[in-house]
Amino acid sequence: MGRFNKLQTLSTMQATSMVPVFYHADAVVAQNVLKACYAGGVRVFEFTNRGDFAQEVFAVLAKFAAKECPEMILGIGSIVDPATAALYLQSGANFVVGPCFNPEIAKVCNRRLIPYIPGCGSVSEIGNAQEAGCDVCKIFPAGNVGGPSFVKNVKAPMPWSMLMVTGGVEPAEANLSAWIKAGVTCVGMGSNLFPKEVIAAGEWDKISALCKEALAVIGKCR
């Protein structure tokens, strides 16, 4: 089970407003990236279930986080079925994210009071997910379903909505400020925080710097 309760996870997401999204098949690389993000001020991190044996990498990462990054709230992404969600909950996931909404995953997570953040691309999907107990909904792919204006227009009739956006989010000030001003709870950022050449060269300080810059821009925009 995760080391953080639901309230801690949700409040930290709101407080920092950024969730790096990352996958790598090499556990050592994942550990270095996690620590670099932690040094950059990140406190919520999503590892994605993208490759074979990803659960083994995650299990190593969760133990590493508990020891080396004690305030880091580690979750799992790209989850589409309840069995996989249960597997990661056993490995210490503090939250579960998916590209789509599956009510059966909500049941697994709700039973253990773990946040389930499903991907939603319409107002009806957001409403159905909220009805199933999802506090935060992931607008995905955010850049394709309408961008910041979609978030703003959803929050007008449903102001209680807590929305995380992933896809089409960049660390540039113009992009981040548009999302923050639209009313997102947090942004999920992947490849823009983790340039391939930086990962390949093991330049972990550059990742810390990118995280610091993005968090500073978010702080300025809020």
Q: Considering Cα of 216, then 187, then 11, then 180, what sign does the dihedral take?
A: positive
Taking only the tens place, the pLDDT of each residue in 12-54 is 999 999 999 999 999 999 999 999 999 999 999 999 999 999 9
- Locate 202 and state its tokens: 């093991």
Angle at 46 between CA 41 and CA 48, to 5 degrees: 145
Q: In the 8-state DSSP scheme, what is residue 32? A: H
Per DSSP, the three-state class of 7 is helix
**pLDDT of 107 above 70:** yes
Flag whether pLDDT at 164 surpasses 70. yes
Q: Which helix (H) or strand (E) element contains residue 201?
A: helix 196-201
- C-alpha–C-alpha distance, residues 74 and 94, integer Å: 6
What stretch of H or E contains 157? none
Specify the pLDDT at position 222.
85
46-68: burial string, b at 16+ Cβ within 10 Å, e else: bbbbeeeebbebbbebbebbeee
pLDDT at 194: 96
Phi, psi of 65 (to 5 degrees): -60, -45
Helix (H) or strand (E) holding 41: none
Q: Which domains occur in the chain, in start order?
A: 6-221 (3.20.20.70)
CA 213/CA 127 separation, integer angstroms: 34
Asked whether 188 and 144 are in contact (CB, 8 A), the reply is no
- Say which residues have a Cβ less than 8 Å from residue 187's Cβ, sequence separation at least 6: 17, 18, 19, 164, 165, 166, 169, 176, 179, 180, 218
Q: Mean pLDDT across the chain, nearest whole number?
A: 96
- Which one-letter DSSP state was computed for residue 137? E
pLDDT digits (tens, 9 = 90+) for 140-160: 999 999 999 999 999 999 999
**Residues 193/12/135/125 CA torsion (nearest 10 deg):** -10
Cβ pair 159, 152 in contact under 8 A: no
Q: Could you give the count of Cα atoms lying within 13 Å of 24 in the half-sphere of its Cβ?
A: 20
